[in-house]
């Protein structure tokens, strides 16, 4: 069983090792990579995710600051804070944790972030550049899915990939990245007729629907690879993915676990993007 599991712990540890070395090298050149995280309100999941991001930064020598705002904050106040961070040369990455309260326009807030500091890769400029295959900040979770496939030696060229979920954060961008690797990509969603019919033909299934145990072993072709993006809690309160691990494990050739899978890769790619931004600053300074 163990040889079927693609461990996010191992892959993210490798990335963090690399990031640590890059931070040392940047520090020697007088650049101190810094990530600013804005969190609005007290959504428990968001608080947990943000805590993990700061912990990773600390482990890798990246400076991180936490800007906590109450859920009564106005959009204007939030935009003013982003403007301040955009202008602060010591800040390389800006992240606004989602979701935001209902009275705030998420699109306006995200697109107020300078694309050069948009380490989540959520601004329209970065999404557009990714879609046309130009240099950009690629979004952290989709990139993490590809990193795990790379680590497992799964070449996507010519493969049938089924993505379940069409969110802007995961489903759509991961489909684009798989297409750029020359996969044949099918995107399934809540209105798709007979999802199992699609997944049974897939070499790789990437599932990001936010429903515990949605993907079951009988929906898979023997030897398929499953990338599980879900982070859910089951009735017993236990953390689990969108794939029903116990029924999938006997069918798949590889699968990512939850916890210890894609979630760790999201965090690792945030570190990578922050370093990329800091390195871009160094390049600009040299020019
Ligand atoms: N909420 C859930 N996932 C993410 C993420 O990757 N970035 C941000 N900013 N918010 C999120």
Each domain of the chain, given as residue ranges in start order, spans: 28-114, 140-263
CATH of 28-114, one of 3.40.50.720, 3.40.50.10860, 3.40.50.970, 1.10.1040.10: 3.40.50.10860
pTM reported for the whole predicted model: 0.96
- 36: Cβ below 6 Å to ligand 1? no
**Ligand 1: which of 169, 230, 232, 272 to mutate, judged by most atoms within 8 Å of the beta carbon?**
169
Own/partner pairs for 99-107, CB < 8 Å, 24+ apart? 99/43, 99/46, 100/40, 101/40, 101/41, 101/71, 101/73, 103/75, 104/40, 104/73, 104/75, 104/78, 105/75
Map tokens 């993006």 to a residue.
229
Ordered strands of the 63-69 beta sheet: 63-69, 34-40, 93-96
Q: What confidence score (pLDDT) does residue 131 get?
A: 98
Tell me which of 53, 198, 254, 276 is the catalytic residue: 53
Q: From CA 102, how far away is CA 262, in angstroms rounded? A: 28
Give me ligand 1 centre to Cα 98, in Å. Answer: 5
Element (H, E) at 162: strand 160-164
Q: Cβ distance 207 to 186 under 8 Å?
A: no
| Mean of per-residue pLDDT scores for the chain | 97
Query: Does the annotation count 97 as an active-site position?
Result: yes
Query: Does the annotation count 159 as an active-site position?
Result: no
pLDDT-based confidence at residue 37 (cuts at 50, 70, 90)? very high
pLDDT-based confidence at residue 286 (cuts at 50, 70, 90)? confident
Q: What is the pLDDT of residues 244-256, one digit of tens each?
A: 999 999 999 999 9
Q: And the tokens for 226? A: 């499953």
Question: Is the pLDDT assigned to residue 287 strictly greater than 80?
Answer: no
Say which residues have a Cβ less than 8 Å from residue 180's Cβ, sequence separation at least 6.
Answer: 133
Q: Measuring from atom 3 of ligand 1, which residue has the nearest CA?
A: 98
Q: Measuring from atom 2 of ligand 1, which residue has the nearest CA?
A: 98
CATH of 140-263, one of 3.40.50.720, 3.40.50.1010, 3.40.50.2000, 3.90.1310.10: 3.40.50.720
Question: Is the pLDDT assigned to residue 152 strictly greater than 80?
Answer: yes
Q: What confidence score (pLDDT) does residue 1 get?
A: 72
- 269: Cβ below 6 Å to ligand 1? no
């Amino acid at each position: 069983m163990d040889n079927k599991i693609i461990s996010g712990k191992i892959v993210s540890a490798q990335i963090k090792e690399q990031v640590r070395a890059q931070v040392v090298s940047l520090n020697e050149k007088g650049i101190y990579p810094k990530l600013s995280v804005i969190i609005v309100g007290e959504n428990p999941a968001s608080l947990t995710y943000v805590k993990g991001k700061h912990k990773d930064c600390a482990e890798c020598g990246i400076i991180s600051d936490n800007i906590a705002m109450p859920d009564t904050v106005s959009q204007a106040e939030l935009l003013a804070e982003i403007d301040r961070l955009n202008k602060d040369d010591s800040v390389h990455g800006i992240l606004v944790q989602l979701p935001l309260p209902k009275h705030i326009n998420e699109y306006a807030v995200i697109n107020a972030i300078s694309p050069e500091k948009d380490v989540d890769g959520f601004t329209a400029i970065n999404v557009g550049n990714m879609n046309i295959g130009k240099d950009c900040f690629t979004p952290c979770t989709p990139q993490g899915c590809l990193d795990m496939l790379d680590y497992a030696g799964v070449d996507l060229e010519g493969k049938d990939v089924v993505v379940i979920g069409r969110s802007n954060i995961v489903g759509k961008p991961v489909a684009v990245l798989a297409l750029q690797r020359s996969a044949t990509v099918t995107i399934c969603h809540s209105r798709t007729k007979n999802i199992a019919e699609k997944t049974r033909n897939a070499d790789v299934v990437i599932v990001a629907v936010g429903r515990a145990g949605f993907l079951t072993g009988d929906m898979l072709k023997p030897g398929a690879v499953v990338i599980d993006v879900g982070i859910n809690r089951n009735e017993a309160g236990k953390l689990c993915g969108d794939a029903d691990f116990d029924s999938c494990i006997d069918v798949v050739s590889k699968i990512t676990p939850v916890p210890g899978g894609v979630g760790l890769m999201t965090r690792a790619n945030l570190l990578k993007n922050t370093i990329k931004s800091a390195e871009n600053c160094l390049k600009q300074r040299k020019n």
